[in-house]
Amino acid sequence: MINHIKYQNQQLKAKMGTGKIIVAGIGPGSESDITPAVLSAIRQSDVIVGYKYYFRFIEKIIHPGAICIDSGMKREKTRAEEAYNYAAEGKVVTVISSGDAGIYGMAPLIYEMQREKGSNIPIEVLPGISAFQKAASLLGAPVGHDFCVLSLSDLMTPWELIEKRIKAAAMADFITAIYNPKSEGRYWQLYRLIELFLQERDPQTPVGFVRQAGREEQEVTITTLADFDPEQVDMFTVILIGNSQTYRFDNKMITPRGYYGEIKMGKAETGIGQDIMIRSFRTIEKELKNRDIPLDKKWALLHAIHTTADFDMENILRIDDNAVASLYDRLNSGAVRTIITDVTMAASGIRKGALQRMGLEVKCYLQDEKTVALATEKGITRTQAGIRIAVGEHPDALFVFGNAPTALMELCDLIRKGKATPAGIIAAPVGFVHVQESKHMVKPFTSIPKLIVEGRKGGSNLAATLVNSILCYNDAINLKPGRDV
């Protein structure tokens, strides 16, 4: 008996027709970009509901007997109500959205209304090609890695929340697609977005934007974050901002699938170590209390903080004016060929690739037989003795101290006696006895370029990284450290 009633109900539904709502994305605007599933749904629908502008893209597909319900902008809820009314009458209704119906489209609203009404009308969502996907294909291959999509429209989302999302996208190095960048009454938000991105991204980051993607009026433009002009876009434009790996090639935007080992513009991409170092330096620079300092001082400071993770370096790293730049010039030109360190650990931290590239030699006399003999004979420390012998052989070297204050004091004494004429001094001994005094002793030599770590802090690793900052100073202009890592 129960089965008989169930059969009768099924027959009644078949006779009356079963209502259904299909939510379909019709793509960005070209019939060739509409999926076969969506084409089939539109052709077989009793009712088509949508924003009136979109009907121009599907008018050739709609069968003559179909009812078309069109309305203006901001009438989404009205369109959803119409869809439910016709579906309740047993009609198959297709609600159209441009692009993909689930991305800033009608699909969420249709489901929300089903919940609100307690309706059991079947819903089917058919995906479409989103405007950012179409724009990306026209720009080349900009969405090759993690990406996000943001809308700058604050009609349904508070601007404070939109701004948080912009900052997060910029900081996380997402490729970022921008919908609704401007309208007649909304113009400043895009300027603010660019301002926020420039705080996190290289000004030369590629930016592409496409107006009327897939339509007759289509316009494609590629520029950079620094040169991007918000006045060139309107509400029909989709913008794509590349990530730190995105580059231009043959007037296209390309984003590699991975961060490492890719080929960029015919040159080998940075390695893992250098890439991490580059991103670390950018992070450190953003967190500096004072970013408005000369480039060569900033370059050495960034190296010091990167090595120590100590932002107190801003307060205690004292660098003579033009010291880093002038020392780089002398080492790179061959005027100075030797770097002397107080201990072997400082020597080992200086990058071998940079030394080979510039034809430099690093020497430490701590283990030299002559040093041991002199220390025993004179009753002085081996580091003192090592500096005394080093000055005898290389009086005009770059002298680097990362451990022994007595060695630095020895050099100061030899300078005063006219026996040493250092090209420069890096004074970073560490400890509690004579450390601060040794650093004060070197300050009066105003004609010698100096990098001094004030107070008790220092160390061989810090001394070495300050040398490395000098050896790669020509990379400072692009803030691209770690070439020899």
Edge-first strand order for the sheet with 140-141 is: 140-141, 252-254, 247-249
Name which of 461, 412, 458 is nearest 438 in CA terms: 412
Could you say which of 145, 303, 306, 394 is catalytic?
Answer: 306
- 300: CB partners within 8 A, 6+ apart: 317, 319, 324, 451, 466, 469, 470
d(CA 314, CA 296): 14
Confirm whether 306 is a catalytic residue: yes
* Residue 424, CA distances (Å) to 123, 319, 325, 388 in order: 76, 11, 12, 16
| Contact indicator for 169, 141 with CB cutoff of 8 Å | no
Tokens found for residue 46: 């009793």
Do strands 20-25 and 92-97 pair parallel, antiparallel, or not at all (unpaired)?
Answer: parallel
| Contact indicator for 388, 374 with CB cutoff of 8 Å | yes
Catalytic residues: 306
